[in-house]
Each structure stands twice: as structure tokens, then as C-alpha cells.
Structure 1
Amino acid sequence: MTVVVVTDSSAGLPADLIGELGIDIVPLHVLVGDTTIREGVDDLEIDYTADTVSTSAPSPGELRAAYTAALARSSGDGVVAVHLSRQLSATWESGRQAVRDMGAEESVRLVDSLGAGLATGLPALAAARSAAAGATLDAVHRAAATAAAKSHTFILVNRTEQLRRGGRLSTAAGFFASELVSKPILQLVQGRLELREKVRTRSKAVAKLVSAAAAAAGSGEAVVGVQHLDAADAAETVIAQLRERLPQVREVLTAEFGPALGVHLGVGAVGVLVLPGGWG
């Protein structure tokens, strides 16, 4: 068999790639009042502006079950589990507890993606492609960790209410105490969500988002991921401008933010993930 890759539902990977590469997905939880929704499993319409909506990580028991099944499917070759940043979610810590409970520290390797959304999905994809090529557990783990370490993520947020309520922004005090911010651009720095700059209009913010991503990609090969929440037109604009500015980019992945991230980013959010150097 081969090494099996596990990730969480925040990864946002297209279903065809998940199926093709045999990636296992563990759902995050969205809490709507007294109802718990498993992202990607349960259907329920969500009002992202409601203050009764929140999120939670999978339990150690849920992750233990996922890792155990993946390890069995690998026929002993091992598991690499790539999860969203431990600075943003308790998922990685739940995973670590699950591995301890299993006594499987050598056969189940955890990777902190230092991000969320496609910033988790692309390292998981790098690992899965390495596994599909027959790489060892150490090499698959290294592929995920390398992709996570070199990625850059920028996010344009349309409204700030969810950021204020969710408390995930590390510079929140200064951000919300400052002058009115119409369209903030955020970035992930070592797994923390930080304010990059403040822009007055959405059109200018989209231009800034594209410029930040283009600068991060550099002049060499790169992989790009674009995500959005109910902002398909803006995402298409970003993709078109990036293709024009970065002709060396051969692969662009697109996805919508799932509910677990949408609760914190809000409708209209657009994110860009850049992996300079490509998969190598």
C-alpha cells in the first residue's frame, strides 16, 4: 500500500483530487445555536452574520478514529495528517492527543500547515502526490512540511463583524481601535492571522491582493490557490489578473471557503495562497 494523507475539512480541496489521491477528510464542526454541523457531511443553511454561529475542532476521539482507519488502509506504511494552524484552531492539538492515545508517534506524523483553507489543502496535496509516487513516510511528511513553510496567504475581508466576534486576528486590538476600515487585507504569518494593510474600496483592495500574491510568487514557478465565499466574480478577477502577471504559473486551484472558515471571514471574502517554487 502507500502512505495515507489525512486532513481536515478546512482544506477546501476539490472532490476529484480527494478521490483521485485517496485523501481522508475529517470534518470540522459549525455550531448553529444548539445544532452541531459536521462540515462537508451535514446540510444546514447558515446565516454567517448571526452571533449564535461558532465553530469547534474535531475531538481527539474523532481524529483517533480517522487516523486508525487511515493507518489500517496504509497497510502499515503510515499516515501524514495535515491540519490547519494550531494558532487558529484546537484541531492540531486534538490530533496530537489522538496520536498519543494511539501510541502511534512513529507511524502517524502531524503537520501544522501554518494556515487554513487552501493553505492547509496545498500542503496536504503535496503530501498526497508524494505518497502516490511511492515515497516513504519520512518523505511524505517532509513534502507537507516544506509546502507549509514556504506558502504565503493573503485574504481580503469584505466585512469586519465576524473577525471581531471570532477573535482570530492577532492584531485585533489595534485593528478595531483604529480608524474605520472598509476592506482589510489580512495575511498569515507563522500560522497567525495578521492585518497586512487597510484599503478604502473593494476594487483597490482586489488590486492590492493581486500585487501581494504576485510579489510572493516571484519570477519562478509557482502554484496558486484562490478561495472565496459567495464572491465568484471577485475570485475570477483575481485569477485573471494573476494569470496575466504570472505567466509562469501552470496550476491554479479554486475553491469556496467552507462554513468553518466562512463563519470567521464572512461573505465576500477572497483569499489567495501562493506556493513559490511549485511542488518541488
Structure 2
Amino acid sequence: MAPLSIQIVTDSTVQLTESELAELPITVVPLIVRLGTKEYLNDGVQITNAQFLSHLANDDELPKTSQPSIGQFLEVFDRLGENGDEVLCLNLTHFLSGTVNAARQAAEMTDTKVTVIDTLSIDRGLAFQVITAAKLAKNGAPMENILAAIDLHRSHTEIFVFLNTLENLVKGGRLSKAAGGIASLLHIKVMAEVVDGELQVAAKGRGKRFLNKQLDELVERIKMESPAKVGLTHVDNLTQASEIANRIHEALPNTLITIHEAGPVISTHTGVGALAVEFYTD
């Protein structure tokens, strides 16, 4: 089998299924999670989601996250380029992590030809771009075609996150109190939206009734717009994610719907009970 000309690299905030990872030319570079003095790769192996959730719920100190090192990216770029392949590296939005900057620095150091893209996305929204890029690369598409396709995905993807509290986002520095317009009201319920790569508060209120109303309205909108792909990511909230998936599937049986368990990096910043609804419309 001839080597692929373009290899796809991404980071571990992406939500991919096992079959997608097995079938497509995708390499995932893990971010890092710290629990007290211990450091783990966010790769699903060194610490599982279940183990991490126990720490998130019970530890006094909030876990810390950090981007992959330049060296992690450099090792991957060097290895993938050994046989002359080119690399396209798609990373989560720079508003939430310095990962894309680490990838850019590594790209300047390697002999491999590397193109680094800030997807201005995260989670399953990031996956939409990564999967499309990998499928095109697997079929031998040139770089300019792949870049045009992921640009289209970026402009046609919407990401909404439903949060029981903003406390973790504020503590982790991913959302300022001023930006949230919340002062000390950290325990209000929030619907946030990723807008041009930045997490913004779209609506806020009190009680689960508020969140359920926002979710209901979003589900009705999804039914009307009939997106090609819907991703649901939850933090220890499978029951609600499954219920929403069933509601969408009943109305749109041809829409691809996937449910994912959030990894440690996303869980750290959203908190337990969070739910993300992400969809791509042609």
C-alpha cells in the first residue's frame, strides 16, 4: 500500500469514535491533566474518565489542565513525515487553550511539511472538521481542497454547552466573571455558545427548569433545520444525553447522532452534569 500523502493530527479535546480512529489517518496528541502533584496524559489510558470524575466530584482542589508540549507535537510531526508525508494539524480554539501555539512552534522546528489550523472549535465540533479532513486525505485530495472543506464545516457548525455552574470555567480562567456578566452568581444555570472560537454566555437563569426550557427550544430548532450530524457530549449525564438523542432521532432518522463521554480536560472546565449539543448543517 502506497503511503498517504497527508496525515491528520489533532489533540485530545476531539471527540472521535473508536471506529473513526481505526479507519482514518488520524493521530491524536494528548493534553495533560494534573491532580494535585500527579500528572496524567489525557489519553483515556493513564486515567480513565470514570477515575477522573471521582476526583472532580470529591477533591477539594480543582484539577488543572495544560496543552501538550512542543516536544510531543515535534515527535509526532517527525515520525509522520519520515516517509515524505505531509501533515495537517487541526487544534482546538486558541480561546480555550495554547495547544495550537505549541503545534505551530513544533511545525517550525520539524523537517516535515506541516500546516497548523486553529479550528475555532472543540469536542465533536472539532471532530467534524477532523473527520472530513481525514476522509479527503485518505482519498488523495490535495491540501487546498481539504482546507476549503474544513472552512465550510467551521462556518456551518454550532456548539451549545449547558452548565449547572460557571464556577469551574471562572476558576480555570476560561471565562471571566465580567464576560459572563455574573459577578458572584456562580451557581446560576447557563447555556453557553462557542462563537468564532470563544465561549460566550448565551442565556442564564435559575433552576433545572430554565436549562430544560433552553434545551427543548434547541432540540425543536434542530428538528426544523435537519442537520446532517449531531454530537452530544456529557459529563456524567448519559440519561439526559440519551433522551435528547432519542427525541432528535424520532424526528430525523437519517441524521447521524453520536453520544460521547467528556474527557478530563473538558470535564474540568464544565463541571459534573454538563451537556454539549453540537451540530453541522449542510
Contact 1:151 1:276 (8 Å CA) reproduced: yes
Cα deviation, residue 203, structure 1: 4.5
Whichever residue aligns with residue 66 of structure 1, its letter is V
Q: 1:138 to 1:119 in 2, by over 3 A?
A: same
Whichever residue aligns with residue 33 of structure 2, its letter is V
Contact 1:227 1:270 (8 Å CA) reproduced: yes
Q: 1:268 corresponds to which residue?
A: 273
Q: 1:43 corresponds to which residue?
A: 47
* Length, aligned pairs only: 272
SS in 1 for 2:154: helix
Tell me how large the CA RMSD over aligned residues is: 2.3
Q: Which runs of 5+ in 2 are unaligned?
A: none
Q: 1:233 to 1:221 in 2, by over 3 A?
A: closer
1:63 alignment partner, one of 65, 70, 73: 73
Cα deviation, residue 69, structure 1: 1.8
Cα deviation, residue 93, structure 1: 0.4
Q: 1:25 corresponds to which residue?
A: 28
Contact 1:29 1:57 (8 Å CA) reproduced: yes
Deviating more after overlay: 14-23 vs 202-211: 202-211
For 1:129 and 1:71, locate their aligned partners in 2 and report how far apart those are by CA, in whole Å: 19
Tell whether 2:236 aligns with 1:230: yes
Q: 1:43 to 1:221 in 2, by over 3 A?
A: closer
TM-score (norm 1): 0.88
Contact 2:16 2:124 (8 Å CA) reproduced: yes
Pairing of 1:145-224 with structure 2 (within 5 A): 145-169=151-175, 172-177=178-183, 182-212=188-218, 215=221, 219-224=225-230
Whichever residue aligns with residue 104 of structure 2, its letter is R
For 2:268 and 2:202, locate their aligned partners in 1 and report how far apart those are by CA, in whole Å: 21
SS in 2 for 1:125: helix
Tell whether 2:7 aligns with 1:4: yes
Whichever residue aligns with residue 266 of structure 2, its letter is L
1:143 alignment partner, one of 125, 133, 149: 149
For 2:85 and 2:233, locate their aligned partners in 1 and report how far apart those are by CA, in whole Å: 33
Q: Which runs of 5+ in 1 are unaligned?
A: none
Q: 1:147 to 1:231 in 2, by over 3 A?
A: same
Q: 1:13 corresponds to which residue?
A: 16
SS in 2 for 1:36: strand
Post-superposition Cα deviations, 1:185-224, rounded to whole Å, max 9, x if no partner, equal 1110111111010132324413413533653685354211
TM-score (norm 2): 0.87
Contact 1:170 1:193 (8 Å CA) reproduced: no
SS in 2 for 1:230: coil
Q: 2:89 corresponds to which residue?
A: 81
Contact 1:57 1:89 (8 Å CA) reproduced: yes
Q: 1:211 to 1:134 in 2, by over 3 A?
A: farther
For 1:261 and 1:248, locate their aligned partners in 2 and report how far apart those are by CA, in whole Å: 29
Post-superposition Cα deviations, 1:215-254, rounded to whole Å, max 9, x if no partner, equal 3685354211110011000101221222345x27521122
1:257 alignment partner, one of 237, 241, 262: 262
